[in-house]
Structure 1
Amino acid sequence: MKFLHTSDWHVGKVLKGRNRLDEQRAVLREIVGLARTHEVDAVLVAGDLYDSAAPSAEAQELVVRALMALRDTGAEVIAIAGNHDHPRTFDAYRPLMNIAGITMVGSVRTAESGGVVSFTAPHTGEPVKLAVLPFLSQRHAVKAAELVAKTPAENSAGYDQLIRDLLNTLTAGFGDDAVNLVTAHLTVTGGALGGGERAAQSIFEYHVPAGAFPADAHYVALGHLHRRQTLPAACPVVYSGAPIAVDFGEQDNTPTVCLVEATPSTPARTTDLPLTSAKRLRTLHGTIAELGERAAEHAEDYLRVVVREPARAGLREEVQAILPGALEVRIDPEFAAPLQTTRPDRRDDQSGPAELFAEFLTERKIVDERVQSLFTRLHDEVTTG
């Protein structure tokens, strides 16, 4: 059988005030096209479909239409909730999505109540067993383990053991006659952060060792870390990575979706399919003149610009006039004024605010007569009523 593994769509994500729904729509359309071209039997979406637990109506419509379009290719579609998603909302939509042939899992479930999704691959007729594990915070992990694994979770030494208990229970029915899969939204110990994750839900007690996954799983489809990577384990433990860079910390990541082929008797084979619809995110350094020379090269990119010149009034506007995609403009630390850690003593020869402000500009290396003139005009307006 063949299936696509994708995750961390983060639909509704806004970058520095810039709405990206059009980009996200193009990327999801690209994923649907790949599912159709490769005639996959299933699509696994391993969490964080949304960027917020309370997504906008536009974001919800985009996700629902994307899931339905994936289903229209003939593939089984299974999506789990990530830490950015609202699990109860996923479960509320579950009956309606089931009618459309789409499986959504928001909360941890027993194998009998939906924790294991069984189906027959439409194109090959192979039986498939998929264990699903949505994101679990530490405070909910004990309750979930007691519900599903029926272990003395209150005595557990840590989060990773609770996840092991859950996985052991959910995968207990794996057999030699089926393609055995796991999908989960969590952090595996040793995994590399992509750059845009919520650190508080990716570190410390939220780590799970790769050895937690059973050796008889043909493939483990993970979400949560935004960088495409495979972790060393007895079975393939894979992060597909985010299909769109959510911020500048992810600018060097390569967006992909994973095409996986597996049979009950052979190891899974994975092919990375690149995604190219989203805008690139880039960081540029240079003077105004140097940035101007590179403007054509980055006309379609979103940019973080580090200017190698002292600050002055209107500098941000100058940069954005040259580079319309500049969402963030900074001054290189080498050219930034040193921070004033103590309040300077007022000298007797300083006769008023204008002189104090002029000294402030000098200390900050801001040389711009317009700023001084503006201060003088505003001061006169305020003091004269």
Structure 2
Amino acid sequence: MRILHTSDWHVGKVLKGRTRHEEHIRVLGQVVDVARAERPDLVIVAGDLYDTAAPSPDATRVVTRALSALRQTGARVVAIGGNHDNGQALDALRPWADAAGIELRGSVRDKPEDLILKGETEGGEKWQLAALPFLSQRYAIRAVEMYDLTAAEANQTYADHIARLIARLSEGFSEPGVVNLLTAHLTVVGASAGGGEREAHTIMGYAVPPTVFPQNAHYVALGHLHRSQRVIGPGPVRYSGSPLAIDFGEEENVCSVAIVDVGVDKAAQTRDVPITSAKSLRTVRGTIEQLATVNLPDAWLRVFVRETPRVGLREDVQELLPNALEVRIDPDMIPDKSGERMAQRAGRSPRELFGDYLDNKGTAEEGVRELFDELYDEVSSTK
């Protein structure tokens, strides 16, 4: 069977105040074109369909139309919720999704079988997919208890809970003659972050070892990290990456979707199909004279200016480079005065330091110094 694996669309993303609505339409249109050309039996969207838990009507329209268009290629379509998505809101769309022939799983529900999907290709190959939406630590504990697994204990980790849930969902993977698949939205230890993931959900407290995945899974389709990559694990474990660079931390990523050919007796073979419809993100550095030679009209730019700070510098840069979304003074142009400041502070009283602060800020409001003196004396007298 053939699978198209994609994730982390982040529809509704705003980059430094600039909407990317038209880019998302082009990018997802290209993903649909890839599906038409490759004719997959199954499309897996491994979470973060949206960039925010409260997507706009325009963002919702883009996602629903993209899912519908993928379904119209003849493939089964399964999409799960990610950490940026509102899982309950996605579940509220399930009546529409069911009517459209799309399997949408926004959150973990009371019955584990709700997250186990089965199908058969036109060629007669059977498959089953365990679909695990993103779970916060709080909901991971609740899900473990809800599925009547080992009772959650205070010293158990997030990885413990995820391992139990995956083991529960993959109990049927022992059935012969079936391609066993799993999709989840999470961070795996040893994987390389792509640059735009929410830090709170990529730190080690949210990371799980690859050993949580069953050895008899023929393919594990992951979302959350935005860089396309294979993860060393008990079987074929892979992040598809995002089909467009989400922020400037991802400008070196190669945006793509993954095409996977796999069978009961055929090891998963994966290839990346580049997605090139979005504007690239680029960081440029230089003086005003050097920036005047930059020719990147089809890229969003982050600019580090090698000039002394002055009034109107940002406007001058943006006149030269209209696509400059972020303009900063190059850090090399800013002298490090931390040592000098420490020397100036040494041996000085809090009153003197506060007075210097007021002078530097140009604050001369009457009574401020006297009020500080009174508060300082009051605090000092209570020690």
Are 1:331 and 2:348 counterparts? no
Equivalent residue, structure 1, for 2:234: 234
Partner of 1:130: 129
Pick closer, same or farther for the CA change 1:91–1:147 going to 2, 3 Å: same
**One-letter identity of the residue aligned with 2:49:** L
CA contact (8 A) 2:81 2:87 kept: yes
Provide TM-score, normalisation by structure 2: 0.86
Amino acid in the other structure paired with 1:48: D
Change (3 A) 1:65 1:108: same
What pairs with 1:254-269 in structure 2 (closer than 5 Å)? 254-269=254-269
CA distance in 1 between counterparts of 2:49 and 2:207 reads: 21
* Residues 201-257 of structure 1: CA deviation (Å, up to 9, x unaligned): 111211111011011101000000111111111211100011111110011010010
Aligned ranges for residues 130-279 of structure 1 at < 5 Å?
130-148=129-147, 150-154=149-153, 157-174=156-173, 175-279=175-279
Q: 1:156, CA displacement in angstroms?
A: 5.9
- The alignment partner of 1:153 has SS state of coil
Question: In structure 2, what is the Cα distance between the partners aligned to 1:55 and 1:155?
Answer: 35
Contact map agreement 2:112 2:169 (CA 8 A) in 1: no
Instruction: State the TM-score, normalized to the length of structure 1.
Output: 0.86
Deviates more, 1:200-209 or 1:215-224: 200-209
Shift of the alpha carbon at 1:95? 2.1
Structure 1 residue 344: Cα displacement: 11
Alpha-carbon distance in structure 2 between the residues aligned to 1:61 and 1:339:
51
Counterpart residue type for residue 171 of structure 1:
S
Contact kept? 2:97, 2:104, Cα under 8 Å: yes
Matched residue count = 345
Verify the 8 A CA contact 1:149 1:169 in the aligned structure 2.
Answer: no
**What amino acid sits opposite 2:128 in the alignment?**
K
Tell me the CA shift for residue 111 of structure 1: 6.3
Displacement of 1:155: 5.7
**2:26 maps to amino acid:** A
What's the CA shift for 1:312?
1.4
Instruction: List per-residue Cα deviations over 1:320-372 (Å, max 9, x = no partner).
Output: 111111000111122236669577989xxx9xx9xxxxxxxxxxxxxxxxxxx
Per the TM alignment, residue 113 of structure 1 is displaced from its structure 2 partner at its CA by 3.7
Which residue does 1:356 correspond to in 2?
none
AA of the residue aligned to 2:98: N
User: What fraction of aligned residue pairs are identical, expressed as a percent?
Assistant: 50
User: Which amino acid in the other structure matches residue 131 of structure 1?
Assistant: A
Any stretches of 5+ residues in structure 2 without a counterpart?
Answer: 345-352, 363-383
Residues 1:99 and 2:99 are matched in the alignment: yes
Helix, strand or coil at the partner of 1:130: strand
RMSD value, Cα: 1.9
Work out the CA distance in 2 between the residues paired with 1:155 and 1:180. Answer: 33
